Amino acid sequence: MDLLPEDAIHEILLRVPAKPLCRLRAVCRPWRPLTTSSSFIAAHTARHGPLVAAIKWIPYFDASRRSQLHLLDTSGHVVWQMRLDKNYHHLEQNGEVSLTSLDVLCLVVGAGEDKRLCVLDPACSTGPMSLLPPYCCHHDTDYNYPVYTPFAVGRASSTGETKVLGFTMADSVEIQGCKVITLAGAGRSEWRDTGRPPGSVQTLMPGMPRCVALVKGVLYFLSYGFEEHRITGIGAYDVGEEKWRPDLLHLPATAVPGQEMGLVELSGSLVVFYYKHKKDSGAGKESGFSMDLWFLTDCNKAIWSKQCTVSSYDSTGGQPLWMLDDGRIVLSMWKYGWDTPVESSLRVYDPRTNTFTSGVEMPDYHIIGVYNGSLLKSCVDQ
């Protein structure tokens, strides 16, 4: 390698995945200045793309084993893992958080009144990035429905600050309060009131794959209409300004009976996806699904454009995760039945040819989100 010019070494090392690259530069110190530079890390992240965050399922009857939180590449290889202690609970598994495509992961520590939100930075080898103060649930004392506190994580586009929204919700749908906290690198942050949203925004609903998306510093939430008994609009929260936009953003189309929907960020755009299960005409069982993707092309005028329809005949559900530079879309897909376990997979869909170009099976995994950080940072200061 000493005989190669530096630009050739740079190009070769860019092709090496993060995990083996950390091992390589640990034994070859001359590469450290190159591979620890911010420009190299940015170029490496852009080339290899995001990672998939997933929970490795453990049978409930096996009390001797603990679930694990994994980060995987699109080939299904584990590049980072964390064993979950019995005091940790993954948030989205219980409907308590909505993960957005950032460089942090979220867990809950404890339970009941002692429950606290823990935000992890996988690139930090020293442990949790932040253990947040307890979230105080103030609600009407005469309200008899159960009260719980879901969370959503966002980032301000102007300052880069990461913030967490906490909600006090009754009966899983009616919002009674909303607070925000900043993940500060030093000092102590506190929860502060941030006003109520214009509608009954949701972080997770049965049958809704993804209710929250972060796009250019704004958190978008599906909003449920009680009178209509369906999703009626999209609430928007500016993370930097810490303000709710006064009006709901209208939907690109009204969901028809049997059709489900969700939100996702794809290449800097807010996308609403509608999908409907297909039925086997002979057996009456689910035999696939179709999914329409609507892109918000003008936020100020609320103009939507349906840019593609994804069809699958061997999965019963799915959701987009991110878009590749060439326009192909990485999706999380699953197949389930009443008497069979969930079968998860990653698939890459090409809208130009209306085909799936590649994929990898991920048995025993529950895909929970996308990690957009770089694990190379974990080696910089070691």
Cβ atoms 223, 232 nearer than 8 A: yes
* Average pLDDT score over the chain: 79
Residue 129's pLDDT band, with cuts at 50, 70 and 90, is low
pLDDT at 265: 94
Q: Answer for the pair 106, 99: CB distance below 8 angstroms, yes or no.
A: yes
CA angle 268, 132, 193 (to 5 degrees): 75
Structure confidence by residue, pLDDT tens digits, 98-127: 566 788 887 766 665 566 777 888 887 555
Does the structure show a pLDDT above 90 at 293? yes
Please tell me the predicted confidence (pLDDT) of residue 60. 54
Residue 98's pLDDT is what? 55
Cα pseudo-dihedral 46, 47, 49, 51, rounded to 10: -120
Cβ within 8 Å of residue 7, ≥6 positions away: none
CA distances from 337 to 37, 92, 288, 312, 340 (A): 49, 22, 12, 16, 5
Q: What percent of the chain has pLDDT over 90?
A: 24
Whole-number pLDDT of residue 367: 79
Work out the end-to-end distance of the chain between its first and last CA atoms, rounded to an integer number of angstroms.
24
pLDDT of residue 35: 85
User: When comparing pLDDT for 244 and 226, which is higher?
Assistant: 244
What are the pLDDT digits (tens) for 313-326? 777 778 899 999 99
Q: Token digits for 330?
A: 């990485």
The pTM (predicted TM-score) of the whole model is 0.85
91 pLDDT higher than 50: no
What integer pLDDT is reported at residue 175 of this predicted model? 65
Stretch 324-336: mean pLDDT:
87
Q: Which of residues 296 and 210 earns the better pLDDT score?
A: 296
Q: Which helix (H) or strand (E) holds 348?
A: strand 340-350
- Rounded to the nearest 10°, the torsion over CA 21, 25, 31, 34 is 50
Lowest mean pLDDT among 8-12, 140-144, 340-344: 140-144
Question: Cα(116)–Cα(182) distance, rounded to whole angstroms?
Answer: 15
Listed range (60-64, 278-282, 361-365) with the worst mean pLDDT: 60-64
**Long-range interactions of 162-170: CB distance < 8 A, separation 24+:** 162/102, 162/104, 162/119, 163/239, 163/242, 164/117, 164/119, 164/132, 165/194, 165/219, 165/237, 166/117, 166/135, 166/191, 167/203, 168/137, 168/138, 168/139, 170/139, 170/140, 170/143, 170/145, 170/146
State the pLDDT at residue 116: 73
pLDDT at residue number 246: 93
Domains of the chain, CATH where assigned: 1-48 (no CATH), 49-379 (2.120.10.80)
Q: Residue 339: pLDDT above 50? A: no
Give the confidence band of 145 by pLDDT, cuts at 50, 70, 90: low
**Distance separating alpha carbons of residues 149 and 178, to the nearest angstrom:** 9
pLDDT in tens, 192-236: 999 888 888 887 665 556 889 999 999 999 988 777 778 889 999
Q: In this structure, how many other beta carbons lie within 10 angstroms of the beta carbon of residue 159?
A: 12
